[in-house]
Structure 1
Amino acid sequence: MTLEVEVMADQIRRAFRGESWHGPSVLEVLAGVSAEDAAAHPIAGAHSIWEIVLHMTAGYRLVLRRVRGEDAQFSLVEGWPPVPALSSEAWLESQRTLEELNQQLQSAVRTFPAERLSQALGSEYSAYTQFCGAPQHDVYHAGQITILKKALAAARGAA
């Protein structure tokens, strides 16, 4: 393992688990979110927390498929899959799946041959771009989740 792939895997871990300078990680912003809150749409026209989690899951799956050699793309439905029926169990399963796939991505990056980082990986984007993009994508969506949580809290305060 080279330092470069280790640094990328560490950034994927930090954006998801914590210990990063940018602010709260994905797991930190999801802590304490109920299934009801995850499914809520407190901002008109915006995705719900649950929809964002499923989208992030789809992103991890896409990159992992590409690492396995597929020229994988996904449709709008694959990128934004429907939320399952509302239940605490389904919400916990969505979070567990997200966490498992994040771990799989970290492992895949750690074992990826550094000499292939500049090569296209199942799309027009290089492996390097996709591996660096994964934590950027996480941070972007963690920010959205934070805003949705604030909107939910504000709606409760107004009620």
Structure 2
Amino acid sequence: MTTSQKLFNELESVLSGEPWYGPSVYSIVDGISFEAAYEKPAGSIHNIAGIILHMVGWTEEVMDRMNGMEAQLPVRGDWPEPGQPDEQKWKWIVEDLKLVNVNLAGFIQNFPEEKWIEPVTGKLDRELGTGETYEHQASGLIQHHIYHSAQIALLNRMING
């Protein structure tokens, strides 16, 4: 199995399949009301909408890196502010998450196999995840999705009991 196929399969499982650890990202996100998406339980730093915007931003950044751009913080910012609660805006945030991951899946499937072992463009910066291979970046982003989907599930449980 190629690196592209392995990463694509892992991404698809995490996003919409049946990963071994529990519910997929989309099954968690699709169960969130817009009211819950904007609520910030006591002690929480972020709300669900903000976490998803963070996930979208980093997905875009990893695709930019795969496209040869120098590593930096996401164009949208590391933690974009989701603004005031708005049902339509919440739908757009969820649609953005799904669309950016469709694009990521395409990037992964079409990424040249020999490039997976090359380092990402940019100076070594552990916080930005630079100096690592493209394979490590893509794998790390999938792990990032898992980590934040668990946060989302916990915040939703705190809000809705």
Give your verdict on TM over 0.5. Answer: yes
Measured against aligned partners, the alpha-carbon deviations of 1:96-131 in whole angstroms (never above 9, x if no partner) come to: 011011111111011111111111123312101011
Aligned-residue CA RMSD in angstroms?
1.7
d(CA) in 1 for partners of 2:53 and 2:74?
14
Give the conservation status (yes or no) of the 8 Å contact 2:61–2:74. Answer: no
Alignment of 1:1-159 (within 5 A): 3-74=2-73, 78-122=77-121, 123-154=130-161
Q: Would the alpha carbon gap of residues 136 and 75 (structure 1) be closer, same or farther in structure 2, given more than 3 Å must change?
A: closer
Give the conservation status (yes or no) of the 8 Å contact 1:84–1:90. Answer: no
Larger helix proportion of the pair: 1
User: Identity of aligned pairs, percent?
Assistant: 27
Normalising by structure 1, we get a TM-score of 0.89
Residue correspondences, number:
153
Structure 1: segments with no counterpart, 5+ residues: 155-159
Deviation of 1:3 (Å): 2.2
SS in 2 for 1:79: coil
Give the conservation status (yes or no) of the 8 Å contact 2:119–2:134. Answer: yes
Which structure has more RCO (C-alpha within 8 Å, separation ≥ 6)? 1
Deviation of 1:148 (Å): 0.5
Normalising by structure 2, we get a TM-score of 0.88
What one-letter code is carried by the residue in structure 2 that aligns with 1:35? Answer: F
Deviation of 1:19 (Å): 1.9
Q: Which residue of 2 aligns with 1:157?
A: none
SS in 1 for 2:68: coil
Task: Give the 4+ runs in structure 1 shifted more than 4 A.
Answer: none
